[in-house]
Chain A
Amino acid sequence: MPYLLKGLLMTIRLALVSEACILAFGLIVALLRISRIRIFRAAAAVYIDVIRGMPLILQIVIIYFGLGHLGIGLSKFAAGVLALTICYAAYEAEIFRAGILSIHKGQMEAARSLGMGYFKAMRYIILPQAIRRVIPPLSNEFIALLKDTSLVSVIALSEVFQRGRELMGTKANVTPLVGVAICYLIVTIPLMRLVQRTEKWLSRGD
């Protein structure tokens, strides 16, 4: 079990580092996606479609081994973070976009009529409201991300799922997998509760 818990720490580290990158990159993609400049809009749309149309495990292998062939040597951890970021940013960009578009356009018009520029209005008026609305779906995405880090085991990163499979082989039976399941659940179940509570708390104001 201590062996698995060490793997769980790696899983959590991978998820947290990736999530930070995903939020930043996802927001940028969302802003490009609704930009008034057509080429930005098109580029973001293509990115979102292409990435969402491919399995994550394929992206992980392409980034680790594919980039290696091009002479870009990434560590397993870096490749994992990059793949998870590229993949999840596409999904989270769509969530951000939905959040931003859900804010009545009168808000933007009002802000602009007060003399604010587009970016200032976005930063101080639209985004604070939009982000509040997308916290629950983003949290759910984070839980999904935490589980999907298991796919990074394909490039030999020693996270909890891989360690479980390893023990399964040395002990030649499947009980370690039960341990792995418990490892995930002790993290995901409290997270799910937390999401429910925040959801309730956020909806109080509405």
Chain B
Amino acid sequence: MKTKIQGALVFSIAALFLAFLLVAGGCGGEKGLTIKSGVLMMGSDTTYPPFENMEGGKAVGFDVDLATEIAKRMGLKLEVVPTAWDGIIPGLKTGKFDILMSAMTITPERAKEINFSDPYIDSDQSICVKKGSPIKDEDDLKGKVVGVQIDTTGQFTAEKMEGLKEISKFDTILLAFEALEQGKIDAIINDYPVNAYMSKIRGKTEVVKEIKTDEKYGIGVKKGNEKLLQEINEALREIKADGTYDKIFQKWFGQPS
């Protein structure tokens, strides 16, 4: 009996050890420009069309196309790492991926934690409502429930408004749209291109007001990795200069940039 128990103990310790090795194995590697040599890993909350979302198990979108192009010019292969939005900055800081590209607005708070590339697109806020709703602008939102994605500039914009009944913070903007279409919330405040795109493809909502906030998206790079940041900015400049940027913009937004 005793040997049986001992055997089981040895076995479980061995199994634990093996599991540890398997997990730890993924973390090693030499220190180069990127975490995995030859690959540019991009952390992205892939629930945000048309910037990034999953289609048939593959990440697609404006950010993905732009990043693919940047990686190509750096001689690297792009690998998208789908990541939850609220864990995306910690993910970058702890080296889960090389760059963060997820329709992220450059804000002073975020810039304290990570470095941003040059801005690559402008994006203002907007109010989106169910078709036929009486809400037309900010004033109509008084006493209403507004949905946002947690930790976004949409949330920060809503928090500056006075008289809102409640701000419902969803993990993804897709859940917020689900709630809006079901009448669980009265409006969504979110990036204009996304609100417009979601309304177009789902057809039950409309954007009624654009709110100018002068927001610009940037690519996040871990602090201290200045060389990578520099190469990304160079690639970005090239892409803008030779017309590739316009092509990608046209593809996703149906109009010239």
Q: Real complex partners, A and B?
A: yes
Interface residues of A (CB under 8 A from B): 65, 68-69, 73, 76, 153-156, 158, 162, 165-166, 168-174
Give the secondary structure class of B's interface.
Answer: helix
B137 interfacial contact with A, CB 8 Å: no
What's the minimum C-beta distance from A9 to chain B, rounded to whole angstroms?
16
The reply to whether A156 and B175 form a contact with Cβ atoms under 8 Å apart is: yes
Which of these, B112, B179, B183, contacts A172 with CB under 8 Å?
A: B112
The complex places the Cα of A173 from the Cα of B223 at a distance, in Å, of 13
Residue B156 lies at the interface, judged by CB distance under 8 Å to chain A: yes
Contact size class for B? 20 to 34
B86 within 8 A of A: yes
Supply 26 A–B pairs (Cβ within 8 Å), ascending by A: A65-B182, A68-B182, A76-B168, A153-B171, A155-B175, A156-B150, A156-B170, A156-B171, A156-B175, A162-B169, A165-B86, A165-B151, A166-B150, A166-B151, A168-B86, A168-B151, A169-B151, A169-B152, A170-B109, A170-B151, A172-B109, A172-B110, A172-B112, A173-B93, A173-B113, A174-B90
Nearest residue in B to A69 (C-beta to C-beta)? B182
Q: When the two chains form their complex, are residues B90 and A166 in contact, meaning their CB atoms are under 8 A apart?
A: no
In the complex the two chains form, what is the Cα distance from A169 to B169 in whole Å?
A: 12
Q: Is the CB of A165 within 8 A of B182?
A: no
Scan residues 139-194 of chain B and give those whose CB is less than 8 A from a CB of chain A. Answer: 147, 150-152, 155-156, 168-171, 175-176, 178-179, 182-184
Does B89 sit at the interface, judged by CB under 8 A? Answer: yes
A74 and chain B: residue at smallest CB distance? B184
Q: Which residue of B lies closest to A177 (CB)?
A: B90
Q: Say which residue of A156, A162, A168, A170 sits within 8 Å of B179 (CB atoms).
A: A156
Asked if B178 contacts A65 (CB within 8 A), the reply is: yes
Lowest 5 A-B CB distances belong to which pairs? A169-B151, A68-B182, A172-B113, A156-B168, A165-B86
Cα distance A170–B179 when bound, in Å? 24
Contact call A154/B171, Cβ cutoff below 8 A:
yes
